[in-house]
Structure 1
Amino acid sequence: MRYFILLLIAIPAAEIAVLLVSGKTIGVGATLLLIIATGVIGAYLAKREGLQTIRKAQEQLQHGQIPGSAVLDGICILIGGILLLAPGFITDIIGFFLLFPPTRKFFKLLMLRYIKKRIERGNIKIIR
């Protein structure tokens, strides 16, 4: 929880600094256009990737499989889409990494490790 609060303060501060430097370097108009463009492109990519993930999960369910990987993909896509809609370049970079399948694998691995640790500690219980 401590890290979450720290990120809640540090990320917006870093975003403001990057936006100020960008505005000074390439101009305010170009910076605003980049922010709007990344939001539009991000929304499109999130929709496209999200629909593919839903189809993948449906196929897995039809074949009697549990769509675990598809659920993690969906979580990454949701977070990535939200980050791309937030104004700023740092969140946009992280959001794009979460949306692209090759880089999404890294984040899925981190989520799996986190979930496994929580299960081992007894914070998450699996009922069968």
Structure 2
Amino acid sequence: MRSRWRFVPLAVLVLAIVEIAVFVGVAQLIGFGWALFVLLLMSAAGVFALGREGRRGWRRVRDAARSNSPVGPQAADGIAGAIGALLLFVPGFFTGVIGALLLIPPIRKLAARRGQRITEKRVPSNVAGDLFGPRQVRVQRTPKAAQPKETDEVIEGEIVD
């Protein structure tokens, strides 16, 4: 576990350097005062979006739970929206643009699906099934010549671990 986190300080340092470089570039284009104003405006939009995304995500998860459907897809979408709003709130043009992109519905759905796939791989399959519902699996059929002749029947079922 420790090896996963060893590059976090380096990543934070690189992010800070990128944010400073982008701010300097934007300040040279539009002026320091305007760049600072845009940063404050982006942070204010992030605060607004964070409240909205939090309420919206919680409402969708609650509605899914009430209807006895899997809450995982709604939770993943809500988390992706909340991360986008949080990145928009963090002062910086680079993180702000990434956060704003995550608030665009098609990009947010892609991020939510990616988060869902990562979660499905990391949790036990029965928990993933409870969170995200039945999973679809790809089945490769062997060519007709390679199939045994006595087992031509199809048995439908569900895989339970």
TM band (smaller chain)? 0.7 to 0.9
Structure 2 length as normaliser, TM-score? 0.67
Aligned to 1:80: 84
Aligned-pair distance for 1:109?
2.1
Instruction: Structure 1 unaligned segments of length 5 or more: list them.
Output: none
Match of 1:38 in 2: 42
Count of residues in Structure 1 that have an aligned counterpart in Structure 2: 124
Cα deviation, 1:86-128, whole Å, max 9, x if unaligned, reads 1111100111122232210111122123223334xxxx67568
- Using structure 1 for the length normalisation, give the TM-score: 0.82
Match of 2:30 in 1: 26
1:54 is the counterpart of 2:64: no
Structure with larger Rg: 2
Q: Which has the higher helix share?
A: 1
- CA apart distance, 1:84: 1.4
Distance 2:66 2:125 in 1: 27
In the alignment, structure 2 segments of 5+ residues that lack a partner are: 131-161
**Runs of 4+ deviating beyond 6 Å:** none
The amino acid that maps onto 1:115 is T
| Equivalent position to 2:101, from 84, 89, 97 | 97
State the alpha-carbon separation in 2 of the partners of residues 62 and 27 from structure 1: 52
1:7 aligns with 2:11: yes
Q: CA RMSD in A?
A: 2.2
Aligned-residue identity in percent? 31
TM-superposed CA distance for 1:3, in Å, is 4.9
